[in-house]
A and B are shown apart, each in its own frame.
Chain A
């Protein structure tokens, strides 16, 4: 039996929102404080305390909804999800159940090429996104035979973003997670710090034969790296296929991925699933969101990644490169301002110029940043300075390789592009008389090779270019040199 298997994946992502205080109290949300230093009366759930909704959390949720083209219902409701756990101080989590703050939306993802599969774009549908509070942490070390409870994180605002089961491979799931991760940072609602748990993914995986109804899913909880996500899904898919092919059945379960072994294991099965007894929280009024509020938030939205991508592709940048540019808002904005800088310096935007600039940003600039461990905001060469260097390529003052030298010099020592070009004598030779004289000299020195070339050995063209370049100390304008060489070699 060798039937085809189809993988079906849906994600639930918990994005921690960037508010400075908790979702239902004024306690700070700063990461890394001493245990329970950020646990106020509400976080501890003292008798008599009440939740008061943080508007900033709602605004961020609305912002997300707008960014994924979702409907924002006029009214949504906070519900209590009831269960006992030591780090859940009230014995219930305030969440949203049947009326979430964000409805159906969608996200365009870019799935990179894998093996024979070419790169492609895909639309993933979002089911909903809802606001909820985080729980605290149970600390099992340091307390002999006991568990410590740290409630600093209790009440931290989360946006839970739920996708439809639209992904068909681990690569698609990772691409979706990355696109979402980029988007939430792009619009500034989440810092995306996966190490600190600001962006946590639960992955629902099932397998089926194409055309069959959905198989039974298992949910891999709390993945906090894209690499682990890929590994966990790969392992889980194989486990499910093996189980079924060996005559077994997949049981619905919540599972954990162990990065050390690369395996998944069941945490609890459906049988011991909780009955959370959701009901509307009577301490909080339904959340009324006016159209005016939504419009005010819409006005604060930056140009979104997908709009930028479309614009870049229209400018003539290859899709693959454009996707790298939009991997972060800062990179894209660096590119945008460098392009503006070129324009103000008299270099018109063309497909060639845009592509070249893009290559510089994702190539030279990224490489230098990586080397120095800097973010693009900390770049030692501003977008405007980059425009100043590239301008000289486009107006044929310097070659691309000379530009790299200018760039590296400026990166370390600072300074002005023109001054560096002058000081290093990098100016390109574009005078046709000089180039012709240079070519004549080379041809005269290599009469045998000229004869060979003329008798049909056209591969030798490169040899002549190399010789001429060398003779010009690399300063000859390559396009001009080619033209003159071709002309003169014809005889």
Chain B
């Protein structure tokens, strides 16, 4: 059961092989067993989950079910869920009970899915290893000494360890794709504006985008069908007709043009990763694709540009955590300024404070033009690179991350090294394009390698088709971590 696809689970539920309550309990038990070692979940609420499961069973008995009815889904702790603690991985919101549902949560509720729990994440989604979480690091199920990636590390680890059938993530600079890659699962960040940001706690508003994480492209398509849709409460939500993302899954790939940017295969890429990606490309050739060499000349600037723009927005987005209305407030202070300073000094972790300081600096009088405005200009150039590239190819492929999972603590004291783990994913956010990661093999330590697929705007269905066809002829995505001590 734990290795079933969402479609298989749906069938099992519909044919009463298992009830939603039983399935939910199965996962809750597994979470209880594994979470002490993996730390993938911050909060579970069995009573709430089982209540939803019972309601789903009701729908199933009445034949009123949809595709995901009764299926437990883990939610990244960045999404406000009514009645649930929503911490965003921070001490600042350690005791914050959300009084409303994010759009994503509403969508899953309306689909009859079960909220299985809130997954661990880097504090305010700032991190690439899940080590910045106030609730402690998440361990990579493939090797408990390594990181799961971040910021959606809890969601990735939970899927990989079969603690849930699927989960949600958010991706500001790679936070879905990089942990998916490091944990050997599939994840997609759709086009900016496709999934509403309402109720999703903001890190960098112009880059943040939610997406699903699961074991296969087919599962992702089903999840995306639920998550997407116009929402008038988010002014950047796009008014488009609802799509069925499963529609193109089975299309053959004959004539598919795959662009390989030379910049993605440059210095810094681990040999094992390079090899796995090459093998995957070879597989695509067998499936009928042709390879086009392309260049994204400005992509080398994406990390510096990102580390101006994202902190700038974050420094402002996180100003609301001031101890006045909700969240953490320092227990002792002498006056208003002291209350602010102590609250924020104690409530935020080091990485968050670092980014707030960077962001405050680049927006300051006298520096704005040199940093923020300049970065905005380069952001446009990066987007132009992609539109040029898509004149020659249908999808772009490369490694998701330059390396496989690194050791816990390895990059802790070197922020720049940590930032470079998102070197291949960030440009996609800057351009607002959809990007995904699927497993494509293992390195010599049996750590998973991820293949990144980048599509043009709104090409999610095509990307899922490209990923699905690969997963029909390969089996990396079916491997499960073995040494979980169960």
**Bound complex: CA of A92 vs CA of B322, how far in Å?**
12
A5 at interface by CB-CB < 8 Å = no
Given known pairs A41-B99, A92-B319, the reply for A48 and B198 (CB within 8 Å) is yes
B313 at interface by CB-CB < 8 Å = yes
A197 at interface by CB-CB < 8 Å = no
CB–CB A84/B340 < 8 A: yes
Given known pairs A53-B235, A89-B320, A282-B205, the reply for A47 and B198 (CB within 8 Å) is no
Interface of B is mostly: loop
Residues of A245-301 at the interface with B, using a CB-CB cut-off of 8 Å, are 275, 277-279, 282-285
Looking at the assembled complex, report how far the CB atom of A87 sits from the nearest CB atom of chain B, in whole angstroms: 9
A44 at interface by CB-CB < 8 Å = yes
Closest to A273 in B: B365
B474 at interface by CB-CB < 8 Å = no
**Bound complex: CA of A282 vs CA of B234, how far in Å?**
11
CB–CB B236/A86 < 8 A: no
- Chain A residues in 8 Å Cβ range of B102: 48
Q: List 4 tightest A-B contacts by C-beta distance, closest first.
A: A91-B319, A277-B363, A282-B206, A282-B205
- Chain A residues in 8 Å Cβ range of B79: 48
CB–CB B199/A52 < 8 A: no
Given known pairs A47-B88, A47-B201, A48-B199, the reply for A283 and B316 (CB within 8 Å) is no
- Chain B residues in 8 Å Cβ range of A282: 204-206, 236, 313
- Which of A89, A149, A277 interacts with B360 by CB under 8 Å? A277
**Bound complex: CA of A77 vs CA of B312, how far in Å?**
17
CB–CB B316/A82 < 8 A: yes
CB–CB A52/B233 < 8 A: yes
B86 at interface by CB-CB < 8 Å = yes
CB–CB A50/B325 < 8 A: no
CB–CB B235/A52 < 8 A: yes
- Chain A residues in 8 Å Cβ range of B204: 282
Residue contacts A-B, CB under 8 angstroms, 18 given: A46-B100, A47-B320, A48-B102, A48-B198, A50-B197, A50-B234, A52-B233, A84-B319, A90-B319, A91-B319, A147-B336, A277-B365, A279-B312, A279-B363, A279-B372, A283-B235, A285-B235, A285-B236
Closest to B376 in A: A280
A45 at interface by CB-CB < 8 Å = yes
- Assuming A50-B234, A277-B364, what are 17 further A-B pairs, CB within 8 angstroms? A45-B320, A47-B93, A47-B202, A47-B320, A48-B98, A48-B198, A48-B200, A48-B202, A50-B233, A52-B232, A52-B233, A80-B316, A82-B363, A89-B325, A91-B316, A149-B324, A279-B368
**Bound complex: CA of A4 vs CA of B86, how far in Å?**
66
CB–CB A283/B319 < 8 A: no
Residues of A109-143 at the interface with B, using a CB-CB cut-off of 8 Å, are none
Of B88, B233, B235, B322, which is in contact with the most chain A CB atoms at under 10 Å from its CB?
Answer: B235
Closest to B93 in A: A47
Of B319, B326, B336, which is in contact with the most chain A CB atoms at under 10 Å from its CB?
Answer: B319
A49 at interface by CB-CB < 8 Å = yes
CB–CB B100/A41 < 8 A: yes
A215 at interface by CB-CB < 8 Å = no
Looking at the assembled complex, report how far the CB atom of A205 sits from the nearest CB atom of chain B, in whole angstroms: 25
CB–CB A50/B198 < 8 A: yes
Q: Using a Cβ–Cβ cut-off of 8 Å, how many residues does chain B contribute to the interface with A?
A: 43
Q: Using a Cβ–Cβ cut-off of 8 Å, how many residues does chain A contribute to the interface with B?
A: 29
A188 at interface by CB-CB < 8 Å = no
**Bound complex: CA of A309 vs CA of B260, how far in Å?**
72
Looking at the assembled complex, report how far the CB atom of B127 sits from the nearest CB atom of chain A, in whole angstroms: 18
- Chain B residues in 8 Å Cβ range of A284: 235
**Contact pattern, A 72-91, Cβ under 8 Å of B = 1, otherwise 0:** 00000000101010100111
Looking at the assembled complex, report how far the CB atom of A133 sits from the nearest CB atom of chain B, in whole angstroms: 14
**Bound complex: CA of A50 vs CA of B315, how far in Å?**
16
Closest to A80 in B: B316
CB–CB A283/B205 < 8 A: yes
- Chain B residues in 8 Å Cβ range of A388: none
A51 at interface by CB-CB < 8 Å = yes
**Contact pattern, B 219-242, Cβ under 8 Å of A = 1, otherwise 0:** 000000000000011111000000
- Chain A residues in 8 Å Cβ range of B198: 48-50
- Chain B residues in 8 Å Cβ range of A89: 320, 324-325
**Bound complex: CA of A91 vs CA of B320, how far in Å?**
5
- Chain A residues in 8 Å Cβ range of B80: 46-48
Closest to A26 in B: B233
Looking at the assembled complex, report how far the CB atom of B431 sits from the nearest CB atom of chain A, in whole angstroms: 15
CB–CB B365/A275 < 8 A: yes
CB–CB B364/A45 < 8 A: no
Closest to B327 in A: A47
Looking at the assembled complex, report how far the CB atom of B238 sits from the nearest CB atom of chain A, in whole angstroms: 11
Looking at the assembled complex, report how far the CB atom of B352 sits from the nearest CB atom of chain A, in whole angstroms: 14
**Bound complex: CA of A89 vs CA of B273, how far in Å?**
46
- Chain B residues in 8 Å Cβ range of A82: 315-316, 319, 363
Looking at the assembled complex, report how far the CB atom of A282 sits from the nearest CB atom of chain B, in whole angstroms: 4
B96 at interface by CB-CB < 8 Å = yes
Closest to A91 in B: B319
CB–CB A91/B322 < 8 A: yes
Looking at the assembled complex, report how far the CB atom of A395 sits from the nearest CB atom of chain B, in whole angstroms: 63
**Contact pattern, A 41-72, Cβ under 8 Å of B = 1, otherwise 0:** 10011111111110000000000000000000
**Contact pattern, B 189-218, Cβ under 8 Å of A = 1, otherwise 0:** 000000001111110111000000000000
CB–CB A47/B86 < 8 A: yes
Residues of A27-53 at the interface with B, using a CB-CB cut-off of 8 Å, are 41, 44-53
**Bound complex: CA of A209 vs CA of B88, how far in Å?**
60
Closest to A78 in B: B235
**Bound complex: CA of A91 vs CA of B202, how far in Å?**
14
- Chain B residues in 8 Å Cβ range of A41: 99-100
**Bound complex: CA of A285 vs CA of B237, how far in Å?**
10
CB–CB A149/B325 < 8 A: yes
- Chain B residues in 8 Å Cβ range of A91: 316, 318-320, 322
